[in-house]
Structure 1
Amino acid sequence: MSVEHNDPKAVVTGMWQALSDRDWQALAGFLADDCIYLDVPVGPAAAARGPEDIIKRLKIGLEPLAGYANFPGLMLHDGADVMYEHHEEWQWASGESALLKFVSVHQVRDGKVTLWKDYWDMGALSNHAPPSWLADFATADMSWIFDATGLA
């Protein structure tokens, strides 16, 4: 990881670049061992904890895509807290695509992301994904599920 450990914005920027590149090994380097990832539309009972399980969770949606890109937007921080407004474009090999608008909230401690919450519209994805998307998601490895109720 080649970011200034004392700069939460640089850590979050590096983390999102690694995700945009789908560089799972680099992404893991930005996440604390006890980091919680919470996809807010899904809820805290289906969060993921720790780099390995967070990456398992992210791969379910992103790894099968023919194209994926994160487009940077406004990033604000107050000490260890970083809010990032951005959007992603998902493209499937079958031709469907979706533009997803996000606000992501992060906490950074000692140069690592310790909490990552994504706020977005699930309908923006489900309305544009191929018909097989939900079925594929339903049969995916769910060993990553962590109940973060009361923790995030």
Structure 2
Amino acid sequence: MASNTEIIDGFMAAWNSLDIDAVMAHFTDDASYANVPMGPPHVGKTLIREFIDGFMATTTEINFIVHHQVDDGRGVVMNERTDILQMGEKRIELPVMGVFELVDGKISAWRDYFDMGGFA
């Protein structure tokens, strides 16, 4: 089985490829996903997919660049990264701190922390 770090590396690659099916394959059925400054988490694969579908519909390019990544060896991976997003004519470079909880090789919780000012 792949290490938790390798799983998150694959997850980042799926985002960079804009491959929604590959992104969704990384989640447990009851996973939660929260963009912390944007409100409560989306819980369950159906709601997570609805959110990501909406996000990807407005985004023509994604490049998640991981600068640092740590694995606690017990199912938590954290990464510091820059998310570069092309949304129409707007290019956004957003510093992000991501926290991933994994169970049996899948993401059961994902929280991203960032400053909403990056979207202004």
> How do residues 1-152 of structure 1 correspond to structure 2 at under 5 angstroms?
4-5=1-2, 7-44=3-40, 47-79=41-73, 80-93=75-88, 95-125=89-119, 127=120
Moved more, 56-65 or 29-38: 56-65
Q: Which runs of 5+ in 1 are unaligned?
A: 128-152
Matched residue type, 1:28: M
In 2, Cα distance between equivalents of 1:87 and 1:63: 20
Identity %: 25
Divergent runs of 4+, >4 A: none
In 2, Cα distance between equivalents of 1:114 and 1:75: 18
Matched residue type, 2:78: M
In 2, Cα distance between equivalents of 1:30 and 1:21: 14
Q: Is the 8 A contact 1:85 1:102 kept in 2?
A: yes
In 2, Cα distance between equivalents of 1:17 and 1:66: 15
In 2, Cα distance between equivalents of 1:57 and 1:86: 21
**Higher fraction of strand:** 2
Tell me how far 1:66 sits from its aligned partner. 2.7
Q: Is the 8 A contact 1:28 1:52 kept in 2?
A: no
Q: How many residues align?
A: 119
Q: State the TM-score, normalized to the length of structure 1.
A: 0.72
